[in-house]
Amino acid sequence: MGPVSADSDKAAKKTDKRPTATGRRAAVTIYDVARHAGVSPSTVSRALGKPGRMSARMERRIQDAAAELGYRVNPMARALPTGRTHTLGLIVTDFTNPVYFDLVRGAERAAGVAGCTMVLAESQESGEAESNAVERVRPLVDGLVLAAPRLDDEALTAIAQDTSLVLINRVVPDIASVVVDVRDGLTAALDHLRAHGHGSIGYLSGPARSWINARRWEVLLEEAPRRGMHVVEIQTSEPTLAGGRDALRRVRAAGVSALVAYNDLIAIGLLREAQATGLNVPGDLSIVGFDDIFGAELTTPGLSTIRVPLGALGEAAIHVLIGRVNPEEHEPAKTEFVRRQSTGPAAAR
Amino acid sequence: MGPVSADSDKAAKKTDKRPTATGRRAAVTIYDVARHAGVSPSTVSRALGKPGRMSARMERRIQDAAAELGYRVNPMARALPTGRTHTLGLIVTDFTNPVYFDLVRGAERAAGVAGCTMVLAESQESGEAESNAVERVRPLVDGLVLAAPRLDDEALTAIAQDTSLVLINRVVPDIASVVVDVRDGLTAALDHLRAHGHGSIGYLSGPARSWINARRWEVLLEEAPRRGMHVVEIQTSEPTLAGGRDALRRVRAAGVSALVAYNDLIAIGLLREAQATGLNVPGDLSIVGFDDIFGAELTTPGLSTIRVPLGALGEAAIHVLIGRVNPEEHEPAKTEFVRRQSTGPAAAR
DNA sequence: TTGTATGCGTTATCAT
DNA sequence: ATGATAACGCATACAA
């Protein structure tokens, strides 16, 4: 049994509500309010539901009664006849990845102003866990936001079939999504690197199932040659600090002088590992991260990175989900290259 | 595997569900399952609810029927008669504060294994916003966890009166809570500083309404004199990087050679501001943070800090909440001093 | 404008 | 062991 109130005597006496078995008071219902105000329950429902349609005095009386009794609607009970729970779900791959801080905040705030509460779940970078999370959350919510889902198109389409779905940084036919346009930031980064004499760069790639990873690599593949630069993909084991550290061997083998990473975590991991082995950044190696998470500016040198407006992304996803904005009209958020100190002139050969 | 097939025509024909107005299919209910299995709805409810009490063959048949139809219980409908929603709430002060990453993860996982889903809300360091968050979430959940709440004892007691409540890092009479014992880590840090010749240290304090801030300061006040060290409190404007930066002026004025901060954010803010003004850390100033958040090891020098087992804390809070562990038996998690490079010998006078 | 009656999907209390 | 039936709290179509 969970912890219950310390002493229920006083409370019970004061507000005259039948106590439940747990010792906590039973909730006040519209029936209580109705009796207190001398009207019928349905009138109470109306007065509280949509404050427009009745005599102002009556409405006022009911509101007073409700306030006096401390009435609060029971979301579950309301959800049954209406089918709407006023709850939205957000599923991210990894709680501890700082990218999601601002995204979650943006989503939660947008949901809040829309009168909805957020339920959060984590998919731990695995398709199966993601599927479980979706199944657990789905019956509870009016709609679902999946951030960078790892499920395949088919699975996502199946989900979209019976629950409103918005994807972040993933595009699937006939499913609403909110994406960032990585081209601006990426080309700015490439220009910056080229101006510093880097002719050959490496892309530290992200999860194979990640759509946005493929997207980033694709744009690089388009834009680098256009600038007369070579670009190679360098695999990482996971999109974390450890993944970045592990990649150093392959980075050195590749012989590139500059890198763009799938995310800041990988970039920072590599940065630190490089320094640990005596390399100078940016003297020997220039590194560009992605996202501009908390921590990117804390390293020495500060991490040059491509900033993604995460908060705006989370907010936009909710807006699309609740229909406040048409997915068609929603235009991709722009990315921006943030120059710090982890990038500099290429070492002389 | 998803319960519905990608191809809606086949599925619609095969399972004969009436489509809703939105175009999405109506949910399968126990009535559908009952008809399909040739039994009554109440039997289905029992078979699925508590797999013990009926003929194994019947039970099996019902489960098959449910699976075939893709039945999933409706949490809202279930919550009505039972009063239990299988949902737990967690309210933190600030989503973007890295301290909460692990805490949220720990809580979410513990909730998950208990078959509950988490709803998350943010109170933005304000008592009023916290109160709103509580009110919004409360009717939805079976229990609530408040991390470092800013509300006063009275308000919290009132909340505890009609919803199960567990506090993290806050102690209020007759309310269950989960706290860390800061003494171990703090004394280790003090010993470390004294061994390096620091005789006078400053405490960069946190929010005035924060119980854990008072607690940290109190222990410092006890333990520093015991070691023949002076200790002064230095106010900060907010428990963030900016708060740490702003405090530098007062730190220099205070003339201390070492600092312990309320949290890592403040410590890092101060560290960077000190460096920006030409000070050497730890040469001129030794700095100890608190929590060991992501980012603490990324600075140069790496931040010495007092590690708090956040994940375990979040998990413990949920365990207490769902009654898996008695609040009395729950013993405070221990803190540990993590020595990095932001602390060193006091400058010669 | 306000009240009456019914249903939402489940669990629980009865009979059987 | 299984089936009928009554809540649970709210919204709503309909009657007044």
Asked if B265 CB < 7 A from strand C, the reply is no
Average pLDDT of chain A is: 89
Q: Is B339 part of any domain?
A: no
What's the gap in Å between the CA of B4 and the closest CA on chain A?
6
Any idea which nucleotide's C1' is nearest the CA of B139? D9
Q: Is A255 part of any domain?
A: yes
Any idea which nucleotide's C1' is nearest the CA of B37? D2
The stretches of chain A forming alpha helices (DSSP H) are 8-15, 30-37, 41-49, 56-69, 75-82, 99-113, 127-137, 153-162, 183-195, 211-226, 241-246, 248-254, 264-276, 310-321
Question: pLDDT (tens digit, 9 = 90+) per residue, B31-65?
Answer: 999 999 999 999 999 999 887 778 888 899 999 99
Which tokens in the block code for residue B329? 């038996």
Q: Rounded mean pLDDT of A151-163? A: 93
Domain span at residue B131 reads 87-179+312-331
Same domain, B296 and B210: yes
DSSP 8-state code for residue A87: E
Same domain, A175 and A193: no
Same domain, A193 and A300: yes
Those nucleotides of strand C lying less than 7 Å from any protein Cβ are 1-5, 7-13
Do the Cβ atoms of B295 and A295 come within 8 Å?
yes
Amino acid at A145: V
Q: Rounded mean pLDDT of B111-136? A: 90
Among B79, B102, B298, the residue with its CB nearest the CB of A268 is B298
Question: pLDDT (tens digit, 9 = 90+) per residue, B70-104?
Answer: 999 999 999 999 999 999 999 999 888 899 999 99
Q: Quick check: B166 and B174 in contact, CB under 8 A? A: no
Query: Quick one: pLDDT at residue B61?
Result: 92
**Burial (CB count <10 Å: 0-12, 13-18, 19+), residue A29:** middle
Same domain, A115 and A232: no
Same domain, A53 and A197: no
Residues with CB under 7 A from strand D: A 26-27, 29-31, 41-42, 45-46, 48-49, 71, 73-74, 77-78, 80-82; B 38-43, 46, 53-55, 58-59, 80-81
Same domain, A233 and A290: yes
Same domain, B134 and B232: no
Q: Is B264 part of any domain?
A: yes
Query: Quick one: pLDDT at residue B3?
Result: 33
Asked if B77 CB < 7 A from strand C, the reply is yes
Among A3, A25, A298, the residue with its CB nearest the CB of B268 is A298
Asked if A161 CB < 7 A from strand C, the reply is no
What contacts B172, CB < 8 A, 6 or more positions away?
Answer: B153, B156, B157
**Between the CA of A46 and the C1' of C1, what is the distance in angstroms?**
11
In chain A, residues with a C-beta closer than 8 Å to the C-beta of B292 are: none
Same domain, A304 and A290: yes
DSSP 8-state code for residue A89: E
Identify the closest residue of chain B to A300 by CA–CA distance: B300
Same domain, B170 and B223: no
Q: Rounded mean pLDDT of A252-278? A: 97
**Between the CA of B314 and the C1' of D11, what is the distance in angstroms?**
38
Query: Quick one: pLDDT at residue B275?
Result: 96
Cis-peptide into A282, omega within 30 deg:
yes
**Between the CA of B21 and the C1' of D10, what is the distance in angstroms?**
21
Asked which of A100-114, A123-137, A270-284, B78-92 is least confident by mean pLDDT, the reply is A123-137
Q: Quick check: A123 and A141 in contact, CB under 8 A? A: no
Q: Is B348 part of any domain?
A: no
What contacts B299, CB < 8 A, 6 or more positions away?
Answer: A298, A299, A300, B268, B271, B272, B342
Cβ–Cβ pairs < 8 A, chains A and B: 163
pLDDT-derived band of residue B125, with 50, 70 and 90 as boundaries? confident
Identify the closest residue of chain A to B142 by CA–CA distance: A2
A232, A231, A243: which is closest to A267 by C-alpha?
A: A243
pLDDT at B108 exceeding the cut of 50: yes
CATH of the domain at B128: 3.40.50.2300
CB atoms inside a 10 Å sphere around CB A168: 25
Q: Quick check: A22 and A8 in contact, CB under 8 A? A: no
CATH of the domain at A40: 1.10.260.40
Instruction: Specify which residue's alpha carbon is closest to the C1' of nucleotide C12.
Output: B81
Q: Give the C-alpha separation, B218 to B286, whole Å.
A: 21
Q: Rounded mean pLDDT of B205-226? A: 96
What's the gap in Å between the CA of B96 and the closest CA on chain A?
5
Average pLDDT of chain B is: 90
Q: Is B342 part of any domain?
A: no
Query: Quick one: pLDDT at residue A49?
Result: 85
Any idea which nucleotide's C1' is nearest the CA of A78? D10
**Between the CA of A150 and the C1' of C16, what is the distance in angstroms?**
52
Query: Quick one: pLDDT at residue B69?
Result: 93
Query: Quick one: pLDDT at residue A16?
Result: 36
pLDDT at B236 exceeding the cut of 60: yes
In chain A, residues with a C-beta closer than 8 Å to the C-beta of B105 are: 95-96, 122
Same domain, B299 and B207: yes
Kindly list the distances between the CA atom of residue B87 and the CA atoms of A84, B64, B153, B280, B346, in Å, as whole numbers in the listed order. 17, 27, 25, 50, 52
Q: How many domains does chain A have?
A: 3
Question: For an interface test with B, which of A161, A175, A275 has the most B Cβ atoms less than 10 Å from its Cβ?
Answer: A161
Do the Cβ atoms of B96 and A105 come within 8 Å?
yes
Give the DSSP H/E element, type plus range, for residue A256.
Answer: none
Q: How far is CA B317 from the centre of its chain?
A: 8
pLDDT-derived band of residue B126, with 50, 70 and 90 as boundaries? confident
pLDDT at A25 exceeding the cut of 70: no
Among A85, A131, A294, the residue with its CB nearest the CB of B295 is A294
**Between the CA of A42 and the C1' of D15, what is the distance in angstroms?**
14
Q: Is B80 part of any domain?
A: no
- pLDDT over 70 percentage in chain A: 92
pLDDT at A75 exceeding the cut of 90: yes
Q: Is B327 part of any domain?
A: yes
pLDDT at A22 exceeding the cut of 50: no
Q: Is B81 part of any domain?
A: no
Q: Give the C-alpha separation, B264 to B335, whole Å.
A: 14
CA count, 13 A, side-chain hemisphere, A279:
21
pLDDT at A24 exceeding the cut of 60: no
Same domain, B285 and B304: yes
Query: Any idea what the Cα angle at residue A112 is, between residues B126 and B160, rounded to 5°?
Result: 55
Do the Cβ atoms of B174 and A6 come within 8 Å?
yes
Query: Quick one: pLDDT at residue B330?
Result: 75
Same domain, A301 and A213: yes
